[in-house]
Each structure stands twice: as structure tokens, then as C-alpha cells.
Amino acid sequence: MTDAEIRAEFAHHDRSVARVNNGSFGCCPASVLASRARWQRLFLSQPDAFYYDSLQPGLARSRAAVAALVGAGDASEISLVDNATTAAAIVMQHVAWSFAEGAFERGDAVLMLLYTYSSVKKSIHAYVARAGAHVVEVPLPFPVASPAAIVASFRAALALAKSGGRRRVRLAVIDHITSMPSVVVPVKELVAICREEGVDKVFVDAAHAIGQVRVDVRDVGADFYASNLHKWLFCPSAVAFLHIRKGDPAAAQMHHPVVSSAYGNGLPMESAWIGVRDYSAQLVVPDAVDFVARFEGGVDGVSRRNHDKVVEMGVMLAEAWGTFLGSPPEMCGSMAMVGLPGCFGIDSDDDATRLRTMLRKDYKVEVPIFHNSRTQQVATTDANGDQVTGYVRISHQVYNVREEYEVLRDAVNKLVLDGFSCTQLRPSPPSQNQKMLAH
């Protein structure tokens, strides 16, 4: 793939924006979008024939492609769903039934991480806490110095959850790569600890993982493993897979929450028919796999180069701003957390959101911003001695170029020079009204 070909494949991206946020919505090249359009047209042309002749064989090919990619034993271990949020709902609903039907006792524990994705936390609350589980959150340090820091935190929280052996831990929810702040978690080690300590089931929410780090589901050894294919594996919105180990007795009890005539035929089949809808994103998985194979070294080559580039850009930004990375390079995939100058005074999630919005509108930079609460963390200061409470999460994907990170660098430097502080963006103080009038 030449640079010119890459530009052509992503010509639909808004070129006026420094798009350093592949992590949120992913990307899809033109050739995969074209395949998707062909599937859509096939459906529109003769929907009944499509349903009877084309849909299920197409989905079977996609499941097989995923199985090969992730080291699954068998394509029957793979279910295709919209996104990791849906995969989480499947797992949580199963656990809720276990509580409701008495397989688990009220008060049995379910573990999750402090940085577990917000929608997954809500899912745990909506299903599992509601059904009677005692939910334990594993505190995680950030900035984080090494994988060992996460392992130690996890062991301690697990011991607390087990309450000296008086409480069963029925489920541990572990991110492979957390979203905000983003770090690569040593999942294999944590899964092993769960097995040693008698945790019933482990769900690895790997929403960001595939295409970013190597995924080998048997090596990780979780009971349930889910990842989005539209974030880092060039599929269109939206398609994800949920892997369940073959022979797991829970497999027959896992159901898609949208129940259709396929109910009872196994989760892969249930997920392949959840009523009339557009399945084209799920049908182009083989095309996306073909696309990434066109790069030198295939998906491993792509993720390795993305990693090297994002670390290089992260270090460049940190040097320019007098800050630092939120984790060592070994704990970065294709994303990196870079501290923002402490003088910005980011003191809340709202501050982070408003700053992000301003960067989007006024500086044409798209980058998510994480607020790191002062009370939670050890104070870490920048080169000027100001406490760093905000981080950008930069991503690098094949379409990114150095200039985009320089736009981000220069935008932040300009804000520093202008004496910017997040107080200026908060509603209702007089200086805010002046600022709005000036716009």
C-alpha cells in the first residue's frame, strides 16, 4: 500500500481536521465501504432471496475469518454483534439470570475496574447489581508506572472482594485496553490470578484490542472475550465479536437480548438473526481482513508501526508541552495518553469536554481529553511545577500524518501563550459572557 493508495482509501475523511482520535469511532477504507454497498444493494434488489440464500453463508464466512484472526479453536465459538456494548449486555444478562434463578446468591461479588468503560459499568449496574450482586471496583493508578502496579492493585481488590473466603466472586470484568485513560492491561496475568483465586467467570472487554495488540483468545484464557472490529480492524460501523470457549457449559445459556425465531440455536445463530436490519457491516469482515493483509506485515505490521508512531508523537508532544506520557510505551498500543500543561486547570469532566469542544471548533483538532481527578491521584507536575490533571488520548492509524500531531502541539502551545485556563470556558462568570460576545 503506497501513501497515495492510503490517501485514496480514506479520501472521505474531513481533511481539514487533525484526526488523531481513531480510538473512538475507528475508520473504514473506501474498498471495504464499496463491498458493504454491494451487500446493501443485493438486499435491496431481492430481499427475500438475500435472506434465504446469501445472509447466513456470508455471516458464516465472517465468523470463520474472525476465528482465524483471534486464535479461536472453532468458528462456532464466535458470535457477531453490533459492538462491545452489546457483548457486555449478553454477558451481564446471563449473570443476572444466574442471580435471579438462584445459581448465584445475593451478595456474591462481581469485580470491575475503576477505568471500565462507562457503558459497561452501567450494564453491570442495570443487570447484575439489580439482580443482587455486590459490585467491587478495582482502583487503578494513573499515571501508571508498570503492569506490575495494575497486577498488585487487582490482587488486593480481589482479596477484599473475597472477604477472607466468605464471599464468592462470580464474575471479573477486565478491560484488555482501557478507554479513558487508555492503557494496555496485563490481561493474561489477571486472568491467571482469577483462576488461582476461584473466580467463576472472567469477561475480557477488549473493545479496542483487535488490530491494536495481538489477540489470542486461548492464550488470554478468559471465558468471554469481546472486541470491536470497527475501531482498529477497518470494518464499518458497527461489528464486534464475542468469543466463548467451546465446551463452556455457560455457552448454551448465553442469549442475545433481542430474541428472535433463532432463540435456542446457540448464540452465534441467535446473533445472526435479530430481526430485519442491515447486516452489511458484519458481512464485510473478510474484506477488511483482505485490506489489512495488503500492508507490509499484515495486521501485526500495521499495529507495530502504529505503536512506534504514536509513542514517537506522544514523546514529541510531551517534550513540547513540558509534560509526560501517562504510561510507559510498553503499556501503549496504538494510543497514548499525553499530559496537558497543568496551567489549563482541568478540574472536572465538564472542563475536559469543553476544552475538547473548543479544540474541535476553533483549532480543528479532534482529540479526546481525560480529566484525572486531583483527589484520586498522586500529584504529578509538569516542567513548570503545575499539577497535571488532564491528558489527551492520541491515536495513530495508517491514515495519520505527522502534521496532524503538530497542529495539536501548536494549538496547545498557543493556548498556553494566551494564558488559557478552563475557568474561561465555564458558564456564567462575567468573563465567559465577554468571551462569547467576542465570538
In 3D, which of 254, 255, 260 has the Cα closest to residue 273? Answer: 260
Site track 300-339 with a copy of itself (rule: CB under 8 A), x = hit: ----------------------------------------
In 3D, which of 204, 202, 196, 277 has the Cα closest to residue 239? Answer: 277
Exactly one of 30, 34, 49, 148 binds a copy of itself (CB under 8 A); which one?
A: 49
Q: Name the one range near a copy of itself by CB under 8 A: 79-87, 296-304, 324-332, 387-395.
A: 79-87
Does position 277 interact with a copy of itself (CB under 8 A)? The reply is yes
Query: Is 5 or 101 the residue whose CB approaches a copy of itself more closely?
Result: 101
What is the arrangement of strands in the sheet containing 390-395, beginning at the earlier edge strand? 335-339, 390-395, 369-371
Does position 54 interact with a copy of itself (CB under 8 A)? The reply is no
Q: Name the one range near a copy of itself by CB under 8 A: 70-78, 90-98, 282-290, 390-398.
A: 90-98
Task: Tell me how far apart the alpha carbons of residues 284 and 30 are, in angstroms, rounded to a whole number.
Answer: 12
Task: Tell me how far apart the alpha carbons of residues 245 and 214 are, in angstroms, rounded to a whole number.
Answer: 18
Task: Tell me how far apart the alpha carbons of residues 285 and 111 are, in angstroms, rounded to a whole number.
Answer: 32
* Cβ-based neighbour number of residue 48 at 10 Å: 8
Shortest spacing between CB 349 and a copy of itself, in angstroms: 12
Phi, psi of 72 (to 5 degrees): -75, 150
Shortest spacing between CB 40 and a copy of itself, in angstroms: 6
Task: Tell me how far apart the alpha carbons of residues 131 and 147 are, in angstroms, rounded to a whole number.
Answer: 33
Does position 275 interact with a copy of itself (CB under 8 A)? The reply is yes
Does position 118 interact with a copy of itself (CB under 8 A)? The reply is yes
Task: Tell me how far apart the alpha carbons of residues 135 and 326 are, in angstroms, rounded to a whole number.
Answer: 27
Q: Name the one range near a copy of itself by CB under 8 A: 196-204, 273-281, 337-345, 387-395.
A: 273-281
Exactly one of 3, 8, 30, 46 binds a copy of itself (CB under 8 A); which one?
A: 46
Query: Is 25 or 295 the residue whose CB approaches a copy of itself more closely?
Result: 25
Total binding residues for a copy of itself by CB under 8 A? 54
CA 14 remoteness from chain centre:
23
In 3D, which of 235, 230, 190, 233 has the Cα closest to residue 214? Answer: 233
Residue 356 corresponds to which amino acid? Answer: R
The DSSP string of 254-303 is: ---SS--TTTTS-HHHHHT-SSSS--HHHHTHHHHHHHHHTSTTHHHHHH
Does position 89 interact with a copy of itself (CB under 8 A)? The reply is yes
Q: Name the one range near a copy of itself by CB under 8 A: 36-44, 55-63, 183-191, 212-220.
A: 36-44
Does position 130 interact with a copy of itself (CB under 8 A)? The reply is yes
Residues 6+ apart with CB under 8 A from 259: 270
Query: Is 47 or 297 the residue whose CB approaches a copy of itself more closely?
Result: 47
Does position 103 interact with a copy of itself (CB under 8 A)? The reply is no
Which cell numbers in the block locate residue 135? 459490585
Query: Is 10 or 43 the residue whose CB approaches a copy of itself more closely?
Result: 43
Shortest spacing between CB 250 and a copy of itself, in angstroms: 16
Query: Is 212 or 424 the residue whose CB approaches a copy of itself more closely?
Result: 212
Residues that bind a copy of itself (CB under 8 A): 24-26, 40-41, 43-49, 51-52, 82-86, 88-89, 92-93, 97, 100, 118-119, 122-123, 125-127, 130-131, 228, 230-231, 236-238, 255, 257-261, 263-264, 274-278, 281
